[in-house]
Structure 1
Amino acid sequence: MEVIAVLALLAVFAFAARSKKTRRGASPGPRPQSGPLVNRKPAPPRPGDYKEPQTARKLKGKCWVIDGDTIVIERVHIRIAGIDAPELNHPWGRNSKSALIKLCKGQVITAELHPESTYDRAVGTCLLPDGQDLAAELVKMGLAIDWPKFSGGKYSHLEPAGIRKKLWRADAKQKGRYDARRHG
């Protein structure tokens, strides 16, 4: 009987010590080993680093992907013209960004800049080295939709069936029916 009481007391002390450790912010299990940081990517350019393209009508270089319809070449933020991709916090937003990363990875992108700009971003048609239009590729994949107001319907024939239903937030935003306070 005394042995059981001693074992119960030890169990209570062990439990109390463990929960005390957890309350201080330490994890209850063993800590994972973290090795040296290898192949770490550089941080994306900050908005303060944005510079307006002045005389250059074309930019060429490797790009950094911000979201499904924005890239950075030579510290210039470029919105891909004529399409609308979901925001990162919307459904399919991260998928759209991932697809754009896969398309651009290791490629030299050519951006033909348009005269207008939106939200401190230049607007441009972005092309892969083989001449493929990034906007067309994203629309074909079903991860962006044509924005006829800005593209003149250039990409609408590439939209898969039912895509506007899938990307309903982007569609509603284009038509002026999206309330960010209600839907996030």
Structure 2
Amino acid sequence: MLRALATFLLIFTLPASAESLDCRVTGIADGDSFSCVGATGEQIRVRLAEIDSPELRQPYGSQARQALASNIFGKTVTLTIKGRDGRGRTLAQVKLGDRDINSELVRTGCAWANRGHLDDRTLLNMEAVARELGRGLWSLPKADQQPPWEWRQQQRGSR
């Protein structure tokens, strides 16, 4: 009985391993979303997990998009899948070799740590350092440093 209980606890308390797959980046939608093609030819729409870049119509939106493109467009990346967002996109941690693209975008001031969907608390530290050093969007006037989730809410309210 004790052995069965121990086995049950071991099986159901181990973290599930996240699915990962490689894909070639074929399009960049904005600073935190892109399209890619998997090994079997399937099209995958990806949203970078745990970060949020300025929207294209926001200050620094086009620069954030360009930063993502410069890092991954035309390259093969590895997605560690975290789930799906409300628009059906694959939420993923994205790596290019050993480089963590999600973290790099926050570190260089091209994205915020997404407080509503955050598991990796080190992203908050990276964001604070980028802000302190005036990197990327943090070089903008304070009035132009509006988090994208607030900007989207404001846009919905003005319709």
Question: Aligned residues: percent identity?
Answer: 23
Distance 1:139 1:76, change over 3 A: same
SS at match of 2:102: helix
Residue segments in structure 2 that go unaligned for 5+ positions in a row: 1-17, 38-42, 133-137
SS at match of 2:110: coil
In structure 2, C-alpha distance between the alignment counterparts of 1:78 and 1:136, rounded to whole Å: 16
Aligned to 2:146: 168
Amino acid at match of 1:76: I
In structure 2, C-alpha distance between the alignment counterparts of 1:79 and 1:120, rounded to whole Å: 10
CA contact (8 A) 1:146 1:154 kept: no
SS at match of 1:119: coil
* Cα deviations by residue, 1:15-36 (Å, 9 ceiling, x for unpaired): xxxxxxxxxxxxxxxxxxxxxx
Distance 1:146 1:61, change over 3 A: same
Q: CA deviation at 1:123?
A: 0.5
Aligned to 1:151: 118
Report which of the two structures shows the higher radius of gyration computed on alpha carbons. Answer: 1
- Name the one with the larger strand percent: 2
Give the one of 145, 149, 155 matched to 1:180.
155
Distance 1:106 1:122, change over 3 A: closer
Aligned to 1:127: 95
CA contact (8 A) 1:78 1:123 kept: yes
Q: CA deviation at 1:183?
A: 6.8
Amino acid at match of 1:161: R
Q: CA deviation at 1:170?
A: 1.6
CA contact (8 A) 2:28 2:73 kept: no
Distance 1:73 1:105, change over 3 A: closer
* Cα deviations by residue, 1:84-118 (Å, 9 ceiling, x for unpaired): 00111111111000000111144311111113333
CA contact (8 A) 1:59 1:73 kept: no
In structure 2, C-alpha distance between the alignment counterparts of 1:169 and 1:158, rounded to whole Å: 16
- RMSD over aligned CA atoms reads 2.6
TM value normalised by structure 2: 0.68
In structure 2, C-alpha distance between the alignment counterparts of 1:156 and 1:168, rounded to whole Å: 16
The answer to whether residue 55 in structure 2 is matched with residue 87 in structure 1 is yes
Aligned to 1:57: 19
In structure 2, C-alpha distance between the alignment counterparts of 1:69 and 1:179, rounded to whole Å: 20
How many residues are treated as equivalent by the alignment?
125
* Cα deviations by residue, 1:11-68 (Å, 9 ceiling, x for unpaired): xxxxxxxxxxxxxxxxxxxxxxxxxxxxxxxxxxxxxxxxxxxxx9223122121110
The answer to whether residue 34 in structure 2 is matched with residue 71 in structure 1 is yes
